[in-house]
Amino acid sequence: MGRSARPPSRIRLLVLDVDGVLTDGRLYYGPRGETLKVFHVQDGHGIREVQRAGIAVAVISGREGAAVRRRCRELGIRHLHQGVADKLPVLRRLCARLGIDLAECAAIGDDAPDVPLLRAVGRSFAVPAAHASARRAAQHTTRAHGGCGAVREVCDQLVAEQARR
């Protein structure tokens, strides 16, 4: 699925959604009402590899939770923004702070709140179970599902592209 076939920019920032991308989108509630999330270990390895390749990683999520904070801390993700209803202004501020152009960003999303990001960045990906609006906005659709290696798939592709430069 794609938009125009412009040459890919060097990616300097990978932006991830959480629910449906880093997780399978299901929400589990513990006995005290806490939200539990399941993350895929291979996605974590991919994130570490993309960081080693010189690509920063940001998480911008509409929901908020301790599990996401902990996972980001474990993976060394310094740019975590939770409880964000309008994600694009947050990304614009982050890019300005880091001196990165939107064309140098890649994003992975799965639902309508991700559409503005997917349209604004240089490289955009949706997961197969994404809402139709997100799949239409994305340039690419991953083979793997959210929470099941989709992030690793994108990370592997970005690392391979960095190595060819």
Position 123 in a domain: yes
pLDDT score at 9 = 73
Write down the pTM of the prediction.
0.93
Position 3 in a domain: no
Q: What is the overall mean pLDDT for the chain?
A: 94
CATH of the domain at 115: 3.40.50.1000
Alpha carbon of 94 to those of 42, 57, 78, 87, 90: distances in Å?
26, 11, 11, 11, 6
pLDDT score at 8 = 60
Position 4 in a domain: no
Position 1 in a domain: no
Tokens of 4: 């125009």
Walking along the chain (165 residues) 10 residues at a time, the average pLDDT comes out as 54 98 94 91 98 98 95 98 97 98 98 98 98 98 98 97 86
Q: How many domains does the chain have?
A: 1
pLDDT score at 164 = 86
pLDDT score at 33 = 87
- Residue 152 near residue 22 (C-beta atoms within 8 A): no
pLDDT score at 118 = 98
Q: Domain limits at 109?
A: 13-164
